[in-house]
Chains A and B, each alone.
Chain A
């Protein structure tokens, strides 16, 4: 594994860690200005404009969600969730330009609030990551929830 591939894998692990400690504002800074954060509503969904997604956010919308999450008025997060984002089967591919990376992983998110049952959300994640002067930035993250047809109760935490 090349030094830059190791750096990219450390980067996605850092992203997961920021979510798990609830540092959403720092988490947001990992996303580039033209990013898309996508949770499809169907396995293999290809067109977000023809079919609803669970989330299909640009930077502005993602930032609005983080603002609400941090507002103290998001009752589905009072008391807040604690989460563990577990990444495995990580694979990284480097673009020939050396500026873009594609990472794939299997992710299991464990989520718990004091008054609710433990939720387990397995799925597959892919990232497109760009090297900028200031460091690595996510241009695209896609989370395919394994059991995406279930009747969800609370998804007010970030996957």
Chain B
């Protein structure tokens, strides 16, 4: 027997018994500061609501502008389930276009990335410029000026596209906060990530990517990417061998000085600077290439900011979740694609530092390869846990997943961000607070006449 789908009716029924954070609305009984209901991961109705309320109304990370480095280059992604193309037109401007012919809806771009002069739909031959405008239909004499205005048949595009430090986000909704307001406290960490590059720009795309996926819900990856509680267990074998005398096991220990934060707006952070900042600083000055980078950073940023940047992300400095689908971890940008309620695909883009010594950039690749994707690194352990969680979630009588670790030792700062020990579940509570807010907003709108 499969679990009962959450419909409006069944939600209302469950609601009567549930100790809910907000019992007045449709999803409030599924998520609270203490716990998440299993249907949040399993239910098709919840997933459909997410597509509308989360992916349809939030700033969704599409790609980095360095993935389209030259006029004519493109790469593809999704906003929820909707295929999009990130392009740089022949004049150099970056666009986000839906991958959907304005004629009979076929996708017009089949490659994951590449370069071209135009997109040609293979179904009836319509061609489009890289800014989405229609060059023309084939056999044009079949269309007359009365019915057909060529300007009406450009590739459609999301309502809003905004960039931050080269990170391109799109929003299907024409209302709501600007990207900068949405990023809030997370922007400072994107700055720290990019500022390690001598040019101030990270390079994505040309270093290639890793891809992995699992038969489970997308939010498992979002939670896990900023989960400081699991590494000492799932990644024990890796951490024990990662540093002499098992010292890496201290990073995510219950007594580690590292912190976990709910940054607001659904963004989460694990900050390992208390453990690693000194080591990052020492490591950078150990090689000639590192010393050169240090000099370049001082030239561009000044000594004080350069020191801050080096102490942050010379290595495993922080894990950042940008709600809902972007993670920045170590040297990597990770994009979470919610393909179905029970299928998640993940793009891992190792990044290089623009203008840095090739030796340093090669070392970033080696560091990425040691943990991700394959052959007894770290990440396959996470995928194994997602598989096991997805199996366990099928138990119907155990409905709840607690997220209350460290709840009673929360420190709140002046921005409203909540902080605690690295194993505390602040990022998860923050993610679900924003999740619920987004789901409720759409729900309220739907319910109003």
Contact = CB atoms under 8 A, between A and B. Distances in A.
Interface of A: 39, 41-42, 45, 48-57, 61, 64-69, 71, 73-78, 115-116, 149-159
A17 to B, nearest CB: 19
Contacts of B345: 151
A75 B381 contact: yes
A73 B212 CA distance: 21
B400 interface: no
A95 to B, nearest CB: 29
Nearest to A64: B241
B234 interface: yes
Contacts of A115: 387, 391
Contacts of B366: 56, 61
Given A39-B374, A50-B207, A68-B241, A154 B384 contact: yes
A9 B375 CA distance: 25
6 contacts: A50-B361, A53-B365, A54-B210, A69-B376, A74-B376, A76-B383
A52 B208 CA distance: 6
Contacts of A76: 376, 380-381, 383-384
A152 B213 CA distance: 6
A68 B373 contact: no
The 4 closest A-B pairs by CB, nearest first: A151-B213, A76-B380, A49-B362, A155-B374
A66 B236 CA distance: 15
B302 interface: no
B416 interface: no
A149 B212 contact: no
A52 B376 contact: no
Interface string B199-220: 0000000111111111100000
A51 B350 CA distance: 9
Contacts of A149: 112, 211
B83 interface: no
Given A41-B208, A52-B209, A152 B237 contact: no
B207 A75 contact: no
A41 B349 CA distance: 12
Contacts of B412: none
B426 interface: no
B44 interface: no
Interface in B47-86: none
Interface size class of B (residues with CB under 8 A): 35 or more
Contact of B211 (A66, A77, A152): A152
Given A76-B380, A156-B374, A51 B206 contact: yes
Given A51-B365, A152-B374, A153-B213, 18 more contacts: A39-B375, A48-B365, A51-B206, A51-B207, A51-B208, A53-B365, A54-B369, A54-B374, A57-B369, A68-B376, A69-B376, A74-B376, A75-B385, A76-B376, A116-B387, A152-B213, A156-B376, A157-B375
A67 B241 contact: yes
Interface of B: 112, 206-215, 234, 236-238, 240-241, 345-346, 350, 358, 361-362, 365-366, 368-370, 373-377, 380-381, 383-385, 387, 391
B387 A158 contact: no
Nearest to B362: A49
A156 B112 contact: no
Chain A interface main SS type: loop
Contacts of B376: 65-66, 68-69, 74, 76-77, 156
Contact of B358 (A49, A73, A158): A49
Contact of B380 (A51, A73, A154): A154
Contacts of B237: 68, 71, 73-74
Contacts of A61: 366, 370
Contacts of B206: 50-51
Contacts of B210: 41, 52, 54
A55 B369 contact: yes
A39 B387 CA distance: 25
Contacts of B384: 75-76, 78, 154
A90 to B, nearest CB: 24
A91 to B, nearest CB: 26
A159 B375 CA distance: 9
Nearest to A73: B237
Contacts of A52: 207-210, 350, 365, 368-369
A86 B257 CA distance: 50
A152 B207 contact: no
B380 A155 contact: yes
Contacts of B207: 50-52
Contacts of A71: 237, 240
A41 B348 CA distance: 12
A150 B213 CA distance: 9
A154 B386 CA distance: 12
Given A53-B365, A55-B374, A64-B241, A156 B380 contact: yes
Contacts of B375: 39, 54-55, 65, 155-159
A64 B374 CA distance: 13
Contacts of B112: 149
